Structure 1
Amino acid sequence: MLIDLIKGHGSGNDFLLIDEISNPYSFSETERAELASLLCNRNSDLGADGILFIMKSDHADGRMRVFNTDGSEASMCGNGLRLVARYVCEMQGLNEAVIETMKADLKVSKQQDIFPTVTTYQVEISPVSFRLSDLPLNLNEPNLINENIPELSEELIFSALAVPNPHLISIVETEQLNSGEQKKISEKVNNPNELFPDGVNVSFVKSLDEGSIYVNTFERGVGFTNACGTAMSASSLVTCLQGLNEVEDVINVYNNGGKVQCVVHENDEDYYIDLIGNATYLYNAQVEVDLSRKTFEVSSKEDFAEQQTYEKLQAEAQAYLKGAGL
């Protein structure tokens, strides 16, 4: 099986893009999962946080399916959606588009560069739900906003929401970020447990200067990641609910892979979030895959020059975080 792909990233959250619109690929569901596990292996010649399958839609400009490194499918991926937005918009000569995802059709658009010559896209993150049944989270209450979960921690306060991926978020201080508590909690709720039967993304969030936050995320099906788009969006919303930031204001969201911006919108007690950040291409490659043997070979690879510019954004973000004591 010969496959052409592009490797790219949003805030250091990296993916392999496979175009099923222009190419006559016909993958079974089993093959999609196996491709993700094989090609995304960090010990291989490629390695990534997941595969983005870019497909035709019968009613939108394109369709995105996301498969994690463990072969599971995610309902959404904000950083990945920016890459798909770029690919579809450039393919069709558009500045705005609608991308079909598992739970919703989402608006995307090209934006002014977040940093000089860093290609930037804005994507809609929705729907937002605080119903614990939508995560699911098995607690005897309808929602969880700024509350304790004794089974996980006696000190930390959590909020839970689906956007539509499930997220468990705690606003913390630097000491808690460095304590190892996040790893302990994340592994507990993503192994067999009674609270989160399907697992959950766990984010620790530190409020920085006015309008700025830091988000560190353990991503379900991936582990600790440089950045998670839906986690940064959900975290921004939680900081607005707690009065740390304001709805409709731009929030600078720093992460281990760089920086994005989020804007939380409220409409009749419903929320959606705009996620704005880079969509950077690293290289395109052609691979020969043998799924029966679980092997592949990279037959060609051509680098893009975009990463050098992105690293300047990353360096600026890291210098800011260092100045904030992180």
Structure 2
Amino acid sequence: MRVGFTKMHGLGNDFVVLDARANTLPAISAQMAAALADRNTGLGCDQLILLEPSDKADFRMRIFNHDGGEVEACGNATRAVAMLHGEEASIETAGGLLRASPTKGGASVDMGEPRFDWDAIPLEYAMDTSAMPVSWEMLDNPGAVNVGNPHAIFFVENTDVVPLDRLGPEIENDPLFPERVNVNVATVEDRNSIRLRVWERGAGLTRACGTGACATAVHAMRRKLVDSPVTVSLPGGDLEIEWQAGGSIRMTGPATESFRGTFEWDDYA
């Protein structure tokens, strides 16, 4: 069976999108998702995105990381899918219901309300998530925010000198985070701008992470380090994040369709 796909990216964070809203596809295993995501022998992507019918929203979006693990949320993929859909839509995800609207060259997404309680991150035991009393070498006292998926945020003087390729997987898999965690290292440049690098859970170093930008911006606003809206600059480009305490996060930024193609399902099943 030949199946069509759309290759897209948001600031260099790339996806293979499979659309099963009209035509049902067989079940996708973690092994198949990882095989499709493989950049040497598969289609190649950071995340595999599956669109399905939903009885709660306009459609459902499932997200599989490069390692095949299914995760709750992906901000960049949500913008890409909104652009692909072509009109305002409600999107069911494992991390909650999102609303997205296409814009010129991208999309704006209501990412829902952030969660700060230790058991909502989740953490292994209770602690203050605004300044956690833990450290990994040069990285200490992170904040923790759940924006549909779990994030730890470290503020540093210079994001470029942090060996995130080494510390990222160590923190991601620390027993403190029973569902693992996305690791963000950020530098606040002024009241309206943040530089950010992200080690993404199950995917590794990434050129952009939409939920990471949301979590980092919200934590910086919570600490009163920046104002809303704030521009978050990642290696792949910029996102604009808006948030007021007690409200939803709004993320706005670009998305791009790269190309379309087909593959033989049984080659990866």
- The SS at the match of 2:116 is coil
Measure how far apart 1:43 and its partner are: 1.4
1:85 aligned onto 2:77? no
Alignment of 1:1-326 (within 5 A): 1-22=1-22, 24-28=23-27, 31-44=28-41, 46-88=43-85, 90=86, 94=87, 96-111=88-103, 113=104, 119-141=105-127, 143-150=128-135, 152-153=136-137, 156-174=140-158, 177-180=160-163, 182-191=164-173, 193-246=174-227, 249-266=228-245, 270-291=246-267, 294=268
Supply the AA of the counterpart residue of 1:52.
Answer: I
CA distance in 2, matches of 1:110, 1:259: 17
Measure how far apart 1:147 and its partner are: 3.5
Q: Which moved more, 1:101-110 or 1:77-86?
A: 101-110
Measure how far apart 1:26 and its partner are: 2.6
CA distance in 2, matches of 1:157, 1:271: 25
CA distance in 2, matches of 1:216, 1:77: 16
Q: Is 2:145–2:219's contact at 8 Å kept on the other side of the alignment?
A: no
Closer/same/farther in 2, CA of residues 107 and 50 from structure 1, 3 Å limit: same
Closer/same/farther in 2, CA of residues 20 and 195 from structure 1, 3 Å limit: same
Measure how far apart 1:154 and its partner are: 6.6
Measure how far apart 1:250 and its partner are: 2.0
CA distance in 1, matches of 2:133, 2:11: 31
- The SS at the match of 2:61 is strand
Measure how far apart 1:208 and its partner are: 1.7
Instruction: Report runs of 4+ in structure 1 exceeding 6 Å deviation.
Output: none
Closer/same/farther in 2, CA of residues 154 and 33 from structure 1, 3 Å limit: closer
Runs of 5+ in structure 2 lacking a partner?
A: none
CA distance in 2, matches of 1:21, 1:52: 12
Structure of larger gyration radius: 1
Q: Is 2:239–2:252's contact at 8 Å kept on the other side of the alignment?
A: yes
- The SS at the match of 2:248 is strand
- The SS at the match of 1:38 is helix
Measure how far apart 1:230 and its partner are: 0.5
Q: Is 2:113–2:249's contact at 8 Å kept on the other side of the alignment?
A: no
Q: Is 2:199–2:205's contact at 8 Å kept on the other side of the alignment?
A: yes
- TM-score when scaled to structure 1? 0.77
Q: Is 2:8–2:16's contact at 8 Å kept on the other side of the alignment?
A: yes
Q: CA RMSD in A?
A: 1.9
Q: Is 2:139–2:154's contact at 8 Å kept on the other side of the alignment?
A: no
CA distance in 1, matches of 2:196, 2:247: 20
Measure how far apart 1:185 and its partner are: 3.0
Q: Is 1:104–1:127's contact at 8 Å kept on the other side of the alignment?
A: no
Q: Deviations over 1:1-56 (max 9, x none)?
A: 3110000011111000111113x23322xx24233211111213521001111111
Q: Which moved more, 1:130-139 or 1:278-287?
A: 130-139
Runs of 5+ in structure 1 lacking a partner?
A: 114-118, 296-326
CA distance in 2, matches of 1:165, 1:45: 26
Q: Is 2:118–2:126's contact at 8 Å kept on the other side of the alignment?
A: no
CA distance in 1, matches of 2:150, 2:230: 21
Q: Is 1:148–1:155's contact at 8 Å kept on the other side of the alignment?
A: no
Q: Report how many residues are paired.
A: 269
Supply the AA of the counterpart residue of 2:94.
Answer: M
Supply the AA of the counterpart residue of 1:274.
Answer: R
Measure how far apart 1:136 and its partner are: 1.9
CA distance in 2, matches of 1:170, 1:101: 27
Q: Which moved more, 1:218-227 or 1:156-165?
A: 156-165
Q: Which moved more, 1:128-137 or 1:47-56?
A: 128-137
Larger relative helix fraction: 1
CA distance in 2, matches of 1:147, 1:14: 32
Supply the AA of the counterpart residue of 1:25.
Answer: T
Q: Is 1:32–1:67's contact at 8 Å kept on the other side of the alignment?
A: no
CA distance in 1, matches of 2:139, 2:231: 27
